[in-house]
């Protein structure tokens, strides 16, 4: 059920029918020479859309741009500040709450979005709106370790696999050999992070080897993420407000 495609009369019934809304949130940032800028957005949108279609959850218009300052030196990257992302996520959830739908999942596709989205979720809970952050890669740690034993932090084999599954026409395999051979995110001296930006340690923007990706692996990851999110939405729909509300002072 996609909110943008409903009429205002149809939207009147949507909260009671859906019970849970999903909000895809991504990033528009460099993903090496071989992947599109919208990789994180395409991933979160795909997962959220599939869960909405299969489970009858309400799909909200998403937030394609995230917190991507660490990629700003690469052409095409757009970024919000953490506060701007937090405010946008809260505003959409608060607007939805006026229509009596107070359960929402932020379907996040970008690691640097995590902190501001979690901050938004905590504040919304105090208002009686129950928002949660679904970081798809964190929910699949065992599967990812099995499928991708090699480093794949950014635009490596993992994200290349996902894009080969979702939008193969946007992947440029002929440029895989031009990707950086960097295997670790960040630049460290004596265990201290000294390189905060991607440009500090990867000339081409990627971390990990895209040649090790495949559409088969990408489909396995996406299927697992969709199933995980679907089960979480089912759980969330079954919880009472009392189950979700902040606890009272301890005795």
Q: With 90 as the cut, is the pLDDT of residue 151 above it?
A: no
Is 85 part of any domain?
A: yes
In a domain, 183, yes or no: yes
Tell me if 42 is assigned to some domain.
yes
In a domain, 125, yes or no: yes
pLDDT at 249: 84
In the block, tokens 């001296």 appear at 189
The DSSP annotation for 6-31 comes to S-HHHHHHHHHHH-SEEEEE-----B
- Quote the domain boundaries for residue 169: 3-244
Looking at the chain, the whole-number percentage of residues with pLDDT higher than 90 is 88
**What mean pLDDT is predicted for residues 60-70?**
97
Give the pLDDT confidence score for residue 15 in this predicted structure: 85
Question: Is residue 193 situated within a structural domain?
Answer: yes
Name the more confident of 250 and 125.
125
CA 130 to chain centre: 18
CATH number of the domain to which 9 belongs? 3.40.50.10310
Q: Count of domains in the chain?
A: 1
The pLDDT tens digits for 187-241 are 899 989 998 899 999 999 999 999 999 999 999 999 999 999 999 999 999 999 9
Q: pLDDT value at position 227?
A: 97
Question: In this predicted structure, what is the pLDDT of residue 170?
Answer: 98
């Amino acid at each position: 059920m996609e909110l943008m495609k409903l009429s205002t009369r149809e939207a009147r019934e949507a909260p009671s029918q859906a019970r849970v809304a999903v909000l895809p949130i991504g990033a528009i940032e460099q993903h090496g020479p071989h992947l599109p800028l919208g990789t994180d957005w395409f991933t979160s949108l795909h997962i959220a859309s599939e869960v909405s279609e299969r489970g009858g959850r309400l799909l909200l218009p998403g937030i394609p741009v995230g917190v991507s300052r660490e990629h700003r030196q690469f052409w095409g990257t757009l970024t919000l500040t953490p506060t701007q992302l937090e405010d946008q996520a809260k505003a959409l959830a608060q607007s939805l709450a006026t229509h009596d739908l107070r359960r929402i999942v932020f379907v996040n596709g970008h690691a640097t979005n995590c902190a501001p989205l979690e901050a938004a979720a905590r504040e919304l809970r105090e208002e009686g709106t129950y928002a949660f952050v679904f970081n798809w890669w964190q929910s699949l740690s065992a599967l990812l370790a099995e499928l991708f034993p090699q480093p794949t932090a950014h635009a490596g084999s993992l994200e290349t696999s996902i894009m080969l599954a979702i939008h193969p026409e946007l992947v440029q395999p002929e440029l895989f050999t031009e990707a950086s051979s960097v295997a670790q995110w960040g630049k460290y001296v004596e265990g201290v992070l000294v390189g905060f930006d991607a440009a500090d340690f990867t000339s081409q923007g990627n971390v990990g080897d895209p040649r090790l990706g495949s559409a088969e692996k990408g489909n396995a990851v996406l299927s697992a993420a969709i199933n995980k999110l679907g089960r979480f939405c089912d759980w969330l729909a079954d919880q009472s407000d009392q189950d979700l509300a902040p606890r009272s002072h301890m005795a």
